[in-house]
Amino acid sequence: MMNQLNINGLIAKLPIVQGGMGIGVSLSGLASAVANQGGIGVISAVAIGMTDPDYKNNLRESNIIALRKEIQKAKKLSDGVIGVNIMMAVTDFENLLNVALEEKIDIVFVGAGLPIGSIFEKFKNSTTKFVPIVSSARAAKLIFQHWSDKFSRIPDGVVIEGPLAGGHLGYAKNDVIHPANNLQTLIKIINDTLPVLHEFEIQYNREIPIIAGGGVYSGGDIYDIFNAGAKGVQMGTRFITTTECDVSEAFKYQFINSNEDSITIIDSPVGLPGRVISNDFVKEIQAGNQKPIKCSWKCLSKCDYKKVQFCVAEALLNATKGDFSRGFAFSGMNGYKATEIISVKETMEQIKQEFERFDVRR
Ligand SMILES: Cc1cc2nc3c(=O)[nH]c(=O)nc-3n(C[C@H](O)[C@H](O)[C@H](O)COP(=O)(O)O)c2cc1C
């Protein structure tokens, strides 16, 4: 049986964190369904206002309104643990963080950048837990040391995201373009990170749970990750083909209709490689064809809209709505394994059974 996940006193009955998925893929629907099953349901804050028809007038304002609305909706739908995922790479990071803290969200996950600097002092007077998402033991050490030196406290846990994950990846393109489809790299990073965290565990006299993700798809994968020393897993792709996932059916069928060769890598204007399901639009991007774009706001700090090939926010929004002529779906390495759309409850039951089978076999 899987143990509960304890993140500095915040308890999830199931040690499964549903990874935040933008744009509009994980909103209150998916997050509350996962939380109702005992996992941690996570709303992705990135460009969340684009789900509002009026977003073009003022995206920043729409983001604030939409994030607040989705948090409140999720809390009405579930008494379980709800989190918000915010990418450091967005220019309105602080606005989104303020909303999450004002709404007293249970937990904030921050990836796509190093969460250091005075802005994080806000967590001092808050009950909201803070968990950074990293891709290496070195990044974990840097963040924990910074927090310890500057704030005399440390993050409540850490998510380690391996190179098989969906979406933006904190690795060099060469390291993600043809990785072996196994969890060995992720397991190595867990092994490297455990001693780093152990020093802080002694200093602060509490456990710092590692939550590991990226290519974790089955209960058997979870078993291997727990054996390596992680206390929880983060899973994104597996939850996309659920009834409650907040995207269009067409988006979900991209996964069901894909095969192993469909999963590929593109360069994203975020400044990171991204793992996606291939289509003609993706092939044009990979061929280097220019696609001049307009930009009414600057949503990403690193995006030079005059130079990039495409607007990643528009492409993701198109896909979310089901338009793949100018869009694509982010996917983890195992996205092609989806065969049907089932409820989150059924998905969790399957995962638990898969885990038990492994647990007994070993
Ligand atoms: C469609 C999609 C959108 C994603 N969006 C975000 C995001 O907004 N912020 C983030 O930190 N990670 C994002 N991710 C990464 C997931 O949160 C998760 O860590 C990752 O998908 C785990 O790998 P898996 O998909 O193989 O389970 C996204 C992944 C997918 C597939």
Give the count of beta carbons closer than 10 Å to the beta carbon of residue 356: 14
Pairing of the two strands 273-277 and 263-267:
antiparallel
Specify whether 63 is located in the same domain as 207.
yes
Radius of gyration over alpha carbons of the chain, in Å?
Answer: 19
For residue 21, give the nearest of 195, 210, 242 by alpha carbon: 242
pTM reported for the whole predicted model = 0.96
Map residue 144 onto helix, strand or coil. Answer: helix
pLDDT confidence tier of residue 234, bands split at 50, 70 and 90: very high
Tell me the CA–centroid distance for residue 21 and ligand 1, in Å: 5
Instruction: Verify that 221 and 281 share a domain, yes or no.
Output: no
119 & 262 share domain: no
Q: How far is the CA of 205 from the centre of ligand 1 (A)?
A: 31
CATH code of the domain containing 165 = 3.20.20.70
For residue 231, being part of any structural domain is answered with: yes
Residues 165 and 214 in one domain: yes
Same-domain status, 185 and 212: yes
Residue among 16, 17, 44 to mutate when testing ligand 1 (max atoms within 8 A of CB): 44
Better-scored residue on pLDDT, 22 or 55: 22
Residues 299 and 273 in one domain: yes
Looking at the fold, whether 284 and 135 belong to one and the same domain comes out as: no
Average pLDDT over residues 317-343: 96
HSE-up (13 A, CA, CB side) for residue 169:
29
The answer on pLDDT for 361 being more than 60 is: no
* pLDDT, tens only, 107-149: 999 998 899 999 999 998 899 999 999 999 999 999 999 999 9
- In this structure, is residue 170 part of a structural domain? yes
Contacts 24+ apart (CB under 8 A), 196-199: 196/137, 196/140, 196/141, 196/144, 197/140, 197/144, 197/158
C-alpha neighbours within 13 Å on the C-beta side of residue 82: 30
Q: How many C-beta atoms lie closer than 10 Å to residue 267's C-beta?
A: 15
- Phi-psi category of residue 47: left, alpha or beta, with phi > 0 → left and psi -120 to 50 → alpha: left
Q: Identify whether 326 is part of a domain.
A: no
Assigned domain for 113 exists: yes
Mean pLDDT estimate for the chain: 93
Residue 327 within any structural domain of the chain: no
The more confident residue out of 357 and 346 is 346
Q: Look at residue 223 and tell me whether its pLDDT is greater than 90.
A: yes
Instruction: In whole angstroms, give the CA distance from residue 81 to residue 149.
Output: 29
Q: Which two structure tokens, joined as six digits, stand for 216?
A: 């974790």
The residue segments making up the domain with residue 288 are 250-321
Same domain, 142 and 264: no
At 292 the pLDDT is 67
CB 208 within 8 A of CB 154: yes
Q: Is the domain of 26 the same as that of 147?
A: yes
Which residue out of 17, 21, 88, 233 has the highest number of ligand 1 atoms within 8 Å of its CB and is therefore the one to mutate? 21
Residue 135 domain flag: yes
Counting beta carbons within 10 angstroms of the beta carbon of residue 235, is it exposed (0 to 12), middle (13 to 18) or buried (19 or more)? buried
What total number of domains does the chain contain? Answer: 2
**Domain-embedded: residue 254:** yes
Confidence check: pLDDT of 55 > 80? no
Q: What is residue 290's predicted lDDT score, i.e. its pLDDT?
A: 63
Is 137:186 a contact under the CB 8 Å cutoff? no
The vertex-355 CA angle with 337 and 181, nearest 5°, equals 40
What is the pLDDT at residue 362? 53
Å from CA of 85 to ligand 1 middle: 10
Query: Same domain, yes or no, for 313 and 206?
Result: no
First to last CA, the chain: 13
| pLDDT score of 308 | 85
Flag whether pLDDT at 218 surpasses 60: yes
**Which residues have C-beta atoms less than 6 Å from ligand 1?**
19-22, 25, 44, 46, 85, 87, 111-112, 133, 161, 164-167, 213-216, 234-237, 330-332, 334
**Do 347 and 300 have their domain in common?**
no
Under 8 Å between Cβ of 98 and 76: no
Pair 182, 269 in one domain: no
Domain assignment present for residue 328? The answer is no
